[in-house]
Structure 1
Amino acid sequence: MLHAGIEALFGRNRDGHRTRHIFHLRRHHHHHQQHQQQHQKDEHDHIAKFFLDKPKLEKILERSSTYGFAAMQGWRSSMEDVHKHLVSLDNYSWKLWSYFAIFDGHNGIDTAKNASDQLDAHLLNAFNHMLEKQYNGKITSDTPIHSSHLDFNLLNAAIKQTYFELDKDLRSVVKDDSGCVCITCLIGPEKIYLINIGDSRAIIISNNGQVLAHTEDHKPDDPAEQERIHEAGGKISKSSTGDVLRVENQLAMTRVLGDFAMDKHIVPPMADIVEYPRNLLASFIILACDGIWDVMTNEEVATFVIHRASTNKLEEIVSQLLDECIRRRSTDNMSVYIVKI
C-alpha cells in the first residue's frame, strides 16, 4: 500500500482526468474510461517504484561540540543524500574556515557521491589561486586567512566558477543518469557564506529563533528562473494534474550538478551566495535538503531548534527534527546539519 500522500496525489490526478474527459462524445465513453484507468495505473506504478510500503526510520547520526548531523532514508526506495564536513578546510591558510555540505541526489546517487568527494578540494584549489592572484605570492601558506583579507568580488567569482569546473569534471566520472542539488556553508573567522544550487536550503538563526539570513530555492515557480529558462530555450510545465512544475518535463529544480542528458544551459550549476557577518546575533546555521523544507518553513525550523537548544544536545535536536518531519508526512530522503556558531 502506498503512502497516503501518494494516494492523495493520484486522487488529484483522477479528478484532473475526469475533468479533461467530461466533454468527450458519449459513444467513446467506455473506450476512454479504459484508457484512463490504464493511464492512471501506469502513472501509479511509475511513482510507486520510488517509494516503500513503510518508511525506513533508521538514522545516521554524527556529532561534535560544534555541530550535529542526522540523515534518514524515510519513505523513498533508496537513499540519495550525501554529506561532508571539514571543521578545518585545510591545515594551512584556511585552517580557521569550516566547510559543511549536503548533496541531494535524484535519479541515482553517482553525481551526489562524486560531487561530495570533489567539491571541497575544488574550492580549496580555487581559493589558493585567488590568493595568488590577489597578493601575487606575498601571503605565505601559514598565514591564517580572514574575510578582511579577501576581495568579495574575487571570492564570489571563484566560488561560482568552482561549481562549473566541478560539473565539467563530473561529466567524465558519473556513470549513471543522475544529478544532484547542493547546499554548502563556509564559516570564516569573520563571515559566513551560504552557497546554493537547487532546492536544498540553509538558514542562519539567532538565539531567539529569528531567521537572519537564508538561501533562495531554485525552482520552476520562481519568475526569474522562468525567464532565464525560457531565454535559454527551455520549457516549464506540469506533466500531469497534481504534479509540480518541471523543467523539460523532468526536473523539479532549475539548477543542478550532473543531469548531463539535459541541456546544461537550461539547468546550469550556477550558485547563488549569501554573505552574513559572524556576529553576536548569529547563533546557529541549519543546512537541510528539501525533505525538511517540504513540510516545515524556515521559521518553524528555527523555532523547533531554539526551543530545544538550551536543554538538548545538537545531535538530539537533529534527530527529533527528522521525527517531526516524518510526523508531518515528508516523503523524501532527509539530511540536516545544525552548526553552532
Structure 2
Amino acid sequence: MQGWRSSMEDVHCTLLKLDDKAWSQWSYFSIFDGHNGLDTARKCAEDFHRYLLKSFNEMLKHGEPIDGPLKSSQLDLILFRKTIKQTYFFMDEQLRKSKTQHDESGAVVITCLIGPEVIYFMNVGDARAILVSKTGQVLLSTHDHKTSDPDEQHRIAEKGGSIWDNRVEGQLAMTRVLGDFSMDKDLVPPDADIKEYTIHDTNNPLGFIVLACDGIWDVMSNKECAKFIVERMSRTQDLCKICDEVLEECLKRGSADNMTIYIIKFL
C-alpha cells in the first residue's frame, strides 16, 4: 500500500522454492523498504535471492556431497550464517557498481528463509519479522537497527560518527542499510542480524509469521499485530483480506508511510 506517500518505494519477492535441486524445500520471502528512490529496493528484489542461492551453492562445494533436498541438519550452521552475512555485503557492492550518478536511494530489508527444520530471519534496518504461536504468543522478533538503540549509538560513535535529530549524521533514521552511498558505509553497513527458530517445537505450535516494513510497526506493537491477526483468523482464512485489514487499521492509526506486509501461515 502506497499510503499517503507520493510514491511507492517498497518491493517484495517470494520464492516458494529457492531452486529445484538441493534447496527445493527452502522458501524465501523478502521485503525491501526503499527510501530516496526506488532503485536500490528494486535491484535488491531482483538480484538478492540469486546471489544468496549462488553463495549457498558455493558453500556446499566445501562440504560433503548432497544427494536430494537439503535439510538444516546437513548444514555447517556457523558457515551458513557467515555466508548469509557476506551475501548482504556482496549485494551492497553490486549496488555500488551499478549506481547511476544521481542515485542516492537506499533500502532496508527483512528476509525469512523457511527450511525443513529451521526458520531463519535476517534483517538490515527497521523492517521487522515476528513469529507467532497458534495461541497468539510472540515467540520471536527481529531487532530493529535504529538510532534509538544504545548498542547502535555506541557502534556509530566508535566509528567516528554522530547522531543528531535522531538520524545518523542528521540524515538516516536507520543505522544499517543497503545502498545510501552518500553516507559513510562504516556508519550504516549492510550488516544483517540473523535469528533462527527450530520448527519442531511441540510446546509452542507455530501459527504464522509476519514480515512488515516500519509503516506497520510505527503504529502497531508486536503484541497488537499478533492479537489483531489471530482475532481476524477466527473469522476468515483469507490471508489477503487479513493483510488488507491490517493495512487499513494502520492507516486509521495515523501511519503515513508506504506499507507492505506478509502473513505466512503454518498448516
Give structure 1 stretches of 5+ with no counterpart: 1-71, 239-244
Q: Which residue of 2 aligns with 1:260?
A: 181
Q: Does 1:334 align with 2:259?
A: yes
Which of 303, 308, 313 is the aligned partner of 2:232? 308
Instruction: Give the distance between the partners of 2:96 and 2:46, measured in 1 at CA.
Output: 14
C-alpha displacement of 1:151: 1.3
- 1:94 maps to amino acid: W
Map of 1:82 onto structure 2: 11
Within the alignment, does 1:156 sit opposite 2:81 as a pair?
yes
Indicate the SS of the match to 1:203: strand
Question: How much has 1:310 moved relative to structure 2?
Answer: 3.1
Aligned-residue sequence identity (percent) comes to 57
Following superposition of structure 1 onto structure 2, how do residues 91-240 of structure 1 map, counting pairs within 5 Å? 91-135=20-64, 138-140=65-67, 143-175=68-100, 176-238=103-165
Q: 2:85·2:192 contact (CA, 8 Å) conserved in 1? A: yes
* 1:141-198 Cα deviation digits (max 9, x unpaired): xx10011011110111000000000100011223311000000000001010000000
SS of the aligned residue for 2:22 comes to: coil
TM-score, scaled to structure 2: 0.96
Larger Rg: 1
Contact 1:202 1:286 in 2 (8 A): yes
- Mapped partners of 2:180, 2:62: distance in 1: 33
Letter in 2 for 1:290: D
Deviation string 1:100-127 (CA, Å, 9 cap, x unpaired) is 0000001101000001111100110111
Contact 1:114 1:174 in 2 (8 A): no
Q: 1:2-46 CA distances to partner (integer Å, 9 max, x unpaired)?
A: xxxxxxxxxxxxxxxxxxxxxxxxxxxxxxxxxxxxxxxxxxxxx
Q: Name whichever structure is richer in helix by fraction.
A: 1
Residue ranges of structure 2 left out of the alignment (5+ in a row): none
User: d(CA) in 2 for partners of 1:324 and 1:152?
Assistant: 39
The whole-number CA distance in structure 2 between the counterparts of 1:139 and 1:187 is: 19
CA contact (8 A) 2:136 2:207 kept: no
Q: Which runs of 4+ in 1 moved over 6 A?
A: none
Q: Distance in 2 between matches of 1:178 and 1:133?
A: 36
Count residues in correspondence: 260
2:160 is paired with a residue of what secondary structure?
Answer: coil
**Normalising to structure 1: TM-score of the pair?**
0.75
CA distance in 2, matches of 1:198, 1:116: 16
Hey, what does 1:322 align to over in structure 2?
247
**Corresponding position: 1:270 with 2:191:** yes
